[in-house]
Amino acid sequence: MTPRGKIFMFVFGGLSCLLDGVLSGLSAVTEQRHTQSLNGKWSLSNSNGSVSLPAEVPGSVHSALQQQGYIQDPYFRFNDASYRWIAFENWTYTTTFTVSAHLRGQQKVLLVFDGVDTVASVSLRGVLVGKTDNMFRRYDFSVRELLKDEDNVLEVTLLSPVFYASEQRKAHSAYSVPPECPPEVQKGECHVNFIRKEQSSFSWDWGPSFPTVGLWKEVRLEAFDVLHLIQASSVSLYNDSLSRWRVQVDLVVDAVQTTNCQITLSIPELDSEQSFQTQFFPGRSKNTFVLQINTGFQVKLWWPNGHGDQPFYHMTVKGFEDGLSILTTESKVYFRTVELVQEPIVGSPGLSFYFRINGKPVFLKGSNWIPAHAFQDQVTPAVLKNLLQSAVDANMNALRVWGGGVYEQDLFYSLCDELGIMVWQDFMFACAMYPAEDEYIQTVREEVIQQVQRLKSHPSVIIWSGNNENEAALATNWFHIPASQRPIYIKDYVMLYVNNIRKIVQEEDQSRPFLVSSPTNGAESEQEGWVAANPYDPHYGDTHFYSYGSDCWDWRTFPRTRFASEYGFQSWPSFSTLQPVSIQEDWSYDSNFTCHRQHHQAGNPQMLMQAAIHFHLPNSTDPLKRFTDTLYITQVAQAQCVKTQTEFYRRSRSEIIDGKGHTMGALYWQLNDIWQAPSWSSIEFGGKWKMLHYFARNFFAPVLPVGFEDNDTLFIYAVSDLNQDLKLRTVVTVYTWTDLDPVCTRKSDLVLVPAGSALAVFKQPVSTILDGCGHCTRLTCLLTFHLEDASSVQQGPTNHHFLCSPKEAQGLLRPNITAKVQEDKTSFSITLHSDSVAPFVWLDVGNIPGKFSFNGFLMVSRNVTVTFNPWRTTSVTELTKSLTITSLMDVY
């Protein structure tokens, strides 16, 4: 907590800001801005006073109740249903604080809330000072005249979000704004589209219903005599015709009176500095200044992960009035350009859809990000760092921040800047129609302005998108809107996303593209009045595609789209993740718990039906083993499904077939989990990698061999994201299911693989490959393959191709894998020995956090060494005791 009357450093967007103080050796100044934190211990009570307890701010009611022992872990068993009452209560946060005479003596004192969740009345010393209705906005209220030296009682009374949403729905009597309620399987609350809060907090098909209440971000007093910097942001812009960079700096200030000021922008490393005379008028204003970068310097560019480094420069902004410093900020500035290219393609109807970063086409590889916890106050820096590092470790370069969650905290975007993760940023609207009344539009407008100003400094953010799936919902009539009423909803849609959100974004940020929705036909949707007849048209824009009934090993079932921004399959998390929130009676696939935890209609049987296409289902007579084996088989099926689909998208980047192709993005659904439950994620709640995430590390590799069959012919493509051309050959190795010694090997000639392309490098009928390979048949043999250069050095991972479903394989034996654990300097090595070929070898060390160098692999050699990097201190003894090894034949 910052002592009263001291200088306070704070972070806005990508900018570290200091007003009227000292930073990086800059001189002290006469005018001082004073900040007093009001974070810490508050008291919390419900409306009738029957519940009263201490509560941390920032925080939430659920977290406070758990911390004080009023409730158990909300994630335990059926507690999401048991604790519904919390969101039906009104809650009041109260604190009492003292204020120095010096702070009160400033010309203006603001009470600032960085985030209120959600609908609240704010009173100071018994006087109402303001109201809030939007979780995604920063609010401040002028309170100078109300403050005394001591006994300043601050009360924030929050209304039940469920009741508020219901009342707003009732007040909207002219026509309905669907959906009324979520599907029954989600066990959620109704009318979430009538309240500006995290939409998934009322439930989703992967998450619980915990309609949160609280002061979820910081609270403070800010006092000043001259002016106050509310937000500072910068974007780098490149002039092609002049071959010159400039940095546009926006300062949003609150001035007490008209202030004549000299603003100086400086980037010393680029020998670039400019000064401007300006006036700040009383009240709030946005002021824009442009620094032209010295053309004598070669600017270092920010690149996505796998395409280069992420360098930055230091920029200072200083403000002087009559020679006295009144404003100083320092920031990181990054230089990169982004273009969304939508243009005709030779041999194909429609338009391209791809991103060009610094003039280079980049294939986006990654996933979709959902809130990391139901209670945002429990999303720690460690959680964010672990998840984002895991994304990079799996060769991802992009994440889509999905529109039903929250605009993530500053640290998330700063880490993405540092790690080279491109961010597709949705605005927080998802799977619904929304009101278009003036009051609603006004709070959304302020939300969008604040969020764009906060986030636009981050080079990682490469695109804004207005909503998740709302164009598709309108176009394909999810909500059964009568044709006669359709124009009303289209009008509201255009009013919200085009006339307001799009217009604001284009005014605030000229440095990156904007899409109205996802999926969308992009430029074609615009031509069709913003709602295309078929937003899923693979000839345009991006697509979302899910199909649970088809055979996911058959690449023909997937759309050959320009850009795949959502696709995926469910699996269950591991037993060690479920165990802390369940008890023994829950540990079967048809228990009340497993049914309750599944929020996707028919999700549990769908997983087994998909698995049963290619695998025998686990059949142990031991109930616990059968349950854990079933968890395993759902992860195997998910990993293979998403692998097949992603590899299809990656090999489609360079070709047009039947007018479709040039796929330039694959973002599977979803990266992370919000709780311990079945979902589409590749990382479990708590950070443990599912088998899918280990597969992703391979199928997103910079150089990748992709194999598939068409008319009994095996094709192998070389996919390269590299900046340089490669000469590669394919090496195909044939094994029997029984024997670890290869039967034979086939090699292709060297082929030139251009930079940034996918190219067929091997084509041969399967019968030809098997001829002369002992007595191999489709049922008795399998293939592995890899790419190598002219020096026989392997490039990229080894891949596999099954010639039949594993359940039909002949000769597949229980491999009897043994393991020896040894400690290295910073990790542990696990040496495995197998008696026979073992598909989907899975190492699990229970609740010891960490990751393996590879996992879920096909073992075709007698000995394999896997490295385990723990995320906490452990030992050979603990690892050996915790280690379990499962392969496909171990579950029968």
| SS3 of residue 86 by DSSP | helix
End-to-end Cα distance, the chain: 58
| 378, 408 Cβ separation under 8 angstroms | no
Q: Alpha helices, DSSP H only, in 470-622?
A: 470-475, 486-493, 503-508, 523-527, 575-578, 592-597, 603-614
Cis check: omega of the bond before 815, within 30 degrees of 0: no
Neighbouring CB atoms inside 10 A of 354's CB total 20
| 379, 553 Cβ separation under 8 angstroms | no
| Tokens 């603990």 sit on residue | 878
The dihedral of CA 113, 118, 124, 128: what is its sign?
A: positive
Amino acid present at 876: V
Q: What residues pair up with 317 in beta bridges, in sequence order?
A: 265, 329
Residues in Cβ contact with 170 at an 8 Å cutoff, skipping those fewer than 6 apart: none
| 351, 364 Cβ separation under 8 angstroms | no
| Tokens 């590889």 sit on residue | 365
In degrees rounded to 5, what are phi and psi of residue 169?
-65, -45
| 653, 757 Cβ separation under 8 angstroms | yes
The CA dihedral of 23, 24, 25, 30, to the nearest 10 degrees, is -10
In degrees rounded to 5, what are phi and psi of residue 262?
-105, 120
Q: Which helix (H) or strand (E) holds 649?
A: helix 623-651
How far apart are the C-alpha atoms of 618 and 627, rounded to whole Å? 8
Q: Which DSSP string corresponds to 811-872?
A: S------EEEEEE-SSSEEEEEE-SS-EEEEEEE-TT--EEESS-SEEE-SSEEEEEEEESS
Q: Which of 313, 166, 179, 304 is nearest to 236 (CA)?
A: 313
Q: Which residue is catalytic, options 222, 469, 524, 647?
A: 469
| 103, 36 Cβ separation under 8 angstroms | yes
| 121, 157 Cβ separation under 8 angstroms | yes
Q: What residues pair up with 567 in beta bridges, in sequence order?
A: 545
> Is 566 designated active site?
yes
| SS3 of residue 684 by DSSP | coil
Neighbouring CB atoms inside 10 A of 164's CB total 20
Q: Which residue is catalytic, options 89, 222, 330, 566?
A: 566
| 44, 55 Cβ separation under 8 angstroms | yes
- Strand pairing report for 514-515 and 461-465: parallel
How far apart are the C-alpha atoms of 597 and 592, rounded to whole Å? 9
Looking at residue 549, the DSSP 8-state letter turns out to be S
Q: In what order do the strands lie in the sheet with 10-12?
A: 10-12, 15-18, 324-333, 313-321, 259-267, 272-280
Looking at residue 397, the DSSP 8-state letter turns out to be -
Q: In what order do the strands lie in the sheet with 338-341?
A: 338-341, 354-357, 360-362
| 277, 260 Cβ separation under 8 angstroms | yes
How far apart are the C-alpha atoms of 335 and 743, rounded to whole Å? 53
Residues in Cβ contact with 372 at an 8 Å cutoff, skipping those fewer than 6 apart: 379, 383, 384, 387, 672, 674
Q: Take residue 335 and report the two structure tokens written for it.
A: 């230089």
> Is 469 designated active site?
yes
Angle at 220 between CA 215 and CA 223, to 5 degrees: 155
Amino acid present at 233: S
Q: What residues pair up with 153 in beta bridges, in sequence order?
A: 96
* Residues noted as catalytic: 469, 566
